[in-house]
Amino acid sequence: MRLIVALALCASACSAAQSQQPGTDPHPGTREEFTAAVQKVLDDTGIPGAGIALVRLNGVEWAGGVGFADRDARTPVTADTHFRAGSISKTFIAGALVQMYEDGEIDLNAPVIELAPDVRIDNAWMIDEPVRLIHLLQHTAGFDDMHFNEMYNVSHPADLPLEEVLRINPVSRVVRWKPGTRMSYSNPGYGVAGHIIEKVTGEKYEDRIAEHIFKPSGMTESSFYLTEADYPGLAKGYDGRTGPPVPYSQIYLRPAGNLHTTPADLGKFVHVLLNWGEIGEDLVIDPEYLSNMEHPRTTLASKAGLHSGYGTGLFNSFVDGYPMLGHNGGIDGFSSAFAYSTTRDVGFVVLLNGTYSREAMRRISQLAVRYLKADVEPPPRTDADVPDSVLREYEGYYHDANPRNQAFAFVQWLMGGQAITVDGKRLMATPAFGQPAPLIPMSGNLFRLEADPEPTRVFTTDDAGTMVLTGGSVYFERKPRWRIESVRWPVLVSAALVLTPLLMMIPWIVMSLARRPVRRSAEGEGGSAQREGGRAEPRGFWWLKFWLLCCSLGLLLPVIGYLNVAGVELGTRNVWTAAMFTGSILLPAAAILSFLFTVDALMSAAGKWLRAYALLVSIAALVVSGYLSAWGMLAFRPWNF
C-alpha cells in the first residue's frame, strides 16, 4: 500500500502518455543477450527476479524467468512462477463487461444506479449526468481512489461478498466533478464494476472471468482467488533490497487488483490481444469492441480529438519511442506490466517481485521492445507549423484539478501547477517546482511531449468556457496565477516557520540554564519572577514556548505516523494512525493557545525578539491550520477514512 499512495502523490500509476527516455542498455539481438541484459538490470536495481514473456503475432516466442522467485532460498523464476499482477486485473474486468455487452447482457452506457441500485453513489450531477458503467471502466466517474479502511482486508473473510465490501466506505464514491469529463484513477470504480458483473450474471466475477476469458485464452494457471493453497507457487514479494518478503495481503476491492498469473499465461493473453481478440477458432473479444477498448471516449480530451489515454481497461504508453497499449500494476511486493504494439506485431510481459525500483520495470520493458523490434524503426516525431496567434491563446497559468487521492489533494494543490508560455514555434510548460518541458504542436490544439511520437496533450474548454490542458491522467485548468500563489507561498512559508521552534528549543534551554538565579518579588507566588538585576520575566514564558513547540509537533506527528505505519495497518487504529490523528488536533489547538500566550507576552515585559518571533510562529500555525481545515484534514481519523 505504501507503493500505491506514494505513486498517487507523484504521478498516476498508469499515465496514458508515459514517455520512456533513451537509456544505455544494449539492443539485444539474441534471446541470450536479452536475458543477460535483464540480469544486469536486476543486479543494478536489486530486484530479485523477473518473469517475462516475449510475444509475436504467431505466438509466444519465449516465456521464462531471470533471477529468483525466493531471494533467500535462491529458487529460480520460471515461466510457471506465479506473480501477483495488481491492477492488470482491471483489463480482465473490463474485458468481461465488454463480452457481456457483445452478448446483449448489458449496456456500457447504462447508469450504474440502474445496474446496481444497492451501490451508494453521491453524485451532485445525478439528474443530468449520472455515473455510467463506461465511466467506471475509463476512470472518469469522478470517484476518489481507495480510502484507507477499504484497502486491506484484515478482519473479514477473504471472499467477503462485493456487496458488503462496497458498504465499508461509500465516501470514496462521492463524485467530485461532472462525470465523463476528466480521468482520475479510481480502484473503487472497478470494485463496483466487478459487483455489476455478479448482479447481471448471477455468477461470481472470479468464475465468470475464469470461464469466459482465462479458459478460451489457455490461461490455466491464472486466478482471481488467492488462498493459502496458492502460496507455494507464488514468488516471494519484496519492498526493499534487504529484509524478509512481504506477507501475501488480502484486499477488499478484489476486482481492482487480486489477479495472480504466470509469465506464460499472461503472454497467451497478450497474444490474444495482438490477434484482435481471436485465438484459433475462438473469439475471446470481438475485434470491433476491442478496438473501442483501446482508446478513451468519455473525457474532454477525447471529445477534443485526443486518441491517447486510458481506454476501457487498456491505456497508451510509449516504450523506447514505440506506441504501445496495455496495463501495469502494483501490489505489495510485486510490480507488473504487459504491453503490445499498436501495429500489432509484438508484445511483452514483465512481472517483478519487487516494488522499490521503477527503473527496473522501465529498463526491462525497453529491452523487450528493443529485442522484439530489432528490425523496425520507431515512428518519426513530427510537428506542425501552428500560427503564433494560436499558440498565444494557450498562454497562462494552469493548475491541477483532478487529484487521484483526496486525502493528499492538499499536497498536490500546493506543489502542482505550471505556466504555459510561447517559445518560438512551440509551447513551454514550466512547473511551479521542476524543470520546464516543451510541448510540440501536432495540430491547432494537439501537442506532444518531446520524447513522444504522438499527441498526448490537448487544449480545450470545459462547459464553463475555462481553458483546460489535459491528456492521459493530467487535467489542468487555467487560473489567475496570483490567486494560487497568494495561498501557496504563505502556506509553505508558514509551514517552515512552524517547524522552527524545534531548533529554537536548544538555545532557549541553554540561555535558561545560563541565566543568574532569580528572586521572587514581594507580590508573592502570583507575581512576576524578578532577576537580581531587576528585569522581570514574563508570566507564561515557558508556557508560550511549550505551545510553540506543540505547533511543530502537531505538524510533524502526521508525517511521522504516515512514514512509519505499515500499509496494511493504515486503515486501523494503532500507535501510528493515532499519531496522525493527534497531530491533526494538536496543531490547531496549539496554534490558538500559542497565539493567546503571545498576546499575553505582548502585554508583559517579554523581550521584543521573543514577542515578534512568537507572534510570527503562532500566526503561521493559524495559517497552516486554516489551510488544512479547508481541505478537511483537521481531526483526521485514518481508521475512518
Residues making up the chain, counted from first to last: 641
Domain boundary among 452, 479, 506: 479
The Cβ-side half-sphere exposure at 464, using a 13 Å CA radius, reads 9
Residues 580 and 625 in one domain: yes
Instruction: Assess whether 283 and 399 both reside in one domain.
Output: no
At residue 512, the pLDDT reads 75
Q: What is the pLDDT of residue 516?
A: 54
Position 379 in a domain: no
Task: Tell me how many domains the chain contains.
Answer: 3
Whether 450 and 501 share a structural domain: no
Are residues 548 and 475 part of one domain? no
Report helix, strand or coil for 373: coil
| Spatial CA neighbour of 52 closest among 393, 518, 366 | 366
Assess if residue 383 is contained within a domain.
no
395 burial type by CB count under 10 A (0-12 exposed, 13-18 middle, 19+ buried): middle
pLDDT for 511 equals 79
Please tell me the predicted confidence (pLDDT) of residue 513: 76
Return the beta strands (E) in 432-528 as ranges. 437-441, 446-449, 457-461, 467-471, 474-479, 518-520
- Report the CATH number that the domain containing residue 115 is assigned in CATH: 3.40.710.10
The predicted structure's pLDDT at residue 509: 82
Say if residue 575 is in the same domain as residue 532.
yes
In a domain, 486, yes or no: no
381 domain residue, yes or no: no
User: Residues 164, 291: one domain?
Assistant: yes
State the residue for C-alpha cell 501536432.
442
- 380 in a structural domain: no
Q: Does a structural domain hold residue 445?
A: yes
Domain-embedded: residue 175: yes
Residue 487 lies in a domain: no
Residues 313, 170: one domain? yes
Predicted local confidence at residue 593, as pLDDT:
96
Helix/strand/coil for 597: helix
pLDDT tens digits, 283-332: 999 999 999 999 999 999 999 999 999 999 999 999 999 999 999 999 99
- pLDDT value at position 517? 57
Those residues of the chain that have pLDDT short of 50 are 1-22, 519-540
Q: 165 and 24 share a domain? A: yes
Domain with residue 451: its CATH number is 2.40.128.210
Q: Quick one: 104 and 185 in the same domain?
A: yes
Same domain for 503 and 577, yes or no, is yes
Query: Are residues 88 and 195 both part of a single domain?
Result: yes
Around 533, how many Cα atoms within 13 Å sit in the side-chain half-sphere? Answer: 4
By residue range, what is the domain housing residue 506? 495-640
What are the counts of helices (DSSP H) followed by strands (DSSP E) for the chain?
A: 20, 22
- Let me know: does 270 contact 91? Beta carbons within 8 Å: no
465: three-class secondary structure by DSSP: coil
Based on the fold, state whether residues 392 and 367 are members of the same structural domain: no
